[in-house]
């Protein structure tokens, strides 16, 4: 849910706008993706565009002894 102020031209607060989104489908897709990642027989590392690790699977933890992903 997002809540944002609405202001008049002079800056006076006139109200708020609220946007709510149903994330059920997205959470289901993420759960399925994580299940596929964990079931892969190989170590898998997913990195962000800035090069930081975003996700690893258990095989990666076992092979490299790396854990601590939040």
Does 47 map to a domain?
Answer: yes
Does 70 map to a domain?
Answer: no
User: Model confidence at 12, in pLDDT bands (50, 70, 90)?
Assistant: very high
Mean pLDDT of 15-44: 91
**Mean pLDDT score of the chain, rounded to an integer?**
89
pLDDT at position 70 is 46
Residue 59's domain spans which residues? 2-64
User: Model confidence at 69, in pLDDT bands (50, 70, 90)?
Assistant: low
Mean pLDDT of 14-35: 91
Does 40 map to a domain?
Answer: yes
Q: What is the DSSP string of 7-68?
A: E-TTS-EEEEEEE----HHHHHHHHHHHHHHHH-SS--EEE-TTS-EEEE-HHHHHHH----
pLDDT > 90? residue 65: no
Does 69 map to a domain?
Answer: no
pLDDT at position 1 is 83
Please tell me the total count of domains within the chain.
Answer: 1
Does 50 map to a domain?
Answer: yes
Does 54 map to a domain?
Answer: yes
Does 19 map to a domain?
Answer: yes
């Amino acid at each position: 849910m997002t809540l944002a102020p609405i202001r008049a031209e002079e800056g006076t607060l006139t109200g708020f706008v609220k946007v709510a989104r149903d994330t059920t489908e997205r959470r289901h897709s993420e759960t399925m993706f994580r299940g596929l990642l964990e079931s892969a027989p190989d170590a898998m590392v997913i990195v962000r565009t800035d090069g930081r690790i975003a996700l690893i699977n258990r095989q990666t933890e076992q092979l490299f002894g790396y854990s601590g992903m939040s």
